[in-house]
Structure 1
């Protein structure tokens, strides 16, 4: 009986120790049923990162942060555990990033696709911190803020220049110009009303005048068309008569009637004309060489030179 109680007591102690170890490991985010490896990374700032913060690869949880402690020059060394079946290069990066808008943090292992050796137990990886949403917003807002401030300064400068231009005399002149412009607009409105009244009272006469103009335009068009048709008819008739006369002349020439036909068909007339032309040339040449033969005026009684025809 006494042995049974001792066995029960020992069994309860073992269970208690096991539960204590399991609970302690759970609180430290260590799974005692999963074999893993420990790695390290050094950071200058680990705000929002605590023990148990998840470690991910491509967004998938593969481990957790086990411990954070101070290192050299006030830097912080983070110890995290990764499951044994996850392999990555020693040149991979351990990057802290925000998991959402509420500011949760996680540690992502960004694998390096190179031919370096695989990271092993207790290796230290290169660290980095991804900019958070607040930092990104500030990064975008700072240039915008500078531009807005520059625009405000420029606007103030423009307003100062405008105020310097629009002094009291200028404002007075501007008021006068606006007043004159208003009076001009008022006069134009009155003139427009008068024109409308005149148009309305003389609408019948205006309509009649427009109708008369349209009728005159129609009549002029008809007259012009008639004149064109008449002139065209006369021209065609004259052309036909001229064509008939030309045909008659050509028929007579073909029949051998008339002087032109004889001139064309007879060689005798051509030879006579050619001989007459040569005789005239000889006569003119003789007159040029012996003008005294034809003009009887001689002071010394010089004998005339006989004419010798040129051989051509």
Structure 2
């Protein structure tokens, strides 16, 4: 009898220990640390959509507690009381409030906004004002979905227009023209490649030859004594200037020949008389030449 009692007690103790470990493990997985002391406060909300036990409570993005319990306030219909457990070291100033938020990754959570401008604090067990913020999904359903509903009919019209455009014969003709143009461009590109490969090197060679010739000419020009040449030209110009002055000077022979009007008239008269004499000699030679045989 004693042996049976010992076996039953052992089984009971093992079962109790297993249940305690399971309970602690489940709470730990939910983020509830039963061995960490906490201060409990209450928050009154009109809607706790997606908020659950063990949902996090954040301050400036840092987790400072969790939701311990959610109860409907039957004495005040339309209100839900949420119990939260905060770290022992956190002091909540009066005038602080909790904002219910949600996102796609973490789900619903409470964002505690501390009123750091006052020096008084809430007592443990006080009720903190709650505010339901517009979450991402709520914003999606209230703002974006109506716009999408307005866009869908237009999108259908656009798709129908695109389908008509795609099936239009002119589009096929345009595509054929584009294909032909592309083929011509490829042909022109091949010709240009041939030009670049064959003619351009020859042209470059000719340019190199011309450049060499210019270099030779430039060298020859550098070898020319331009100072001596210019000096000779200056001497020639001075001589011509002196000749011109002598021709214009009426005191010398050349000047007299060019500038004396009387001499010019005599020479002109002499030339005229000589011309008449030659003409008369040509017409009547017997007048000037006599032949005598005896």
When the two structures are superposed, what TM-score results if normalisation uses the length of structure 1? 0.39
When the two structures are superposed, what TM-score results if normalisation uses the length of structure 2? 0.40
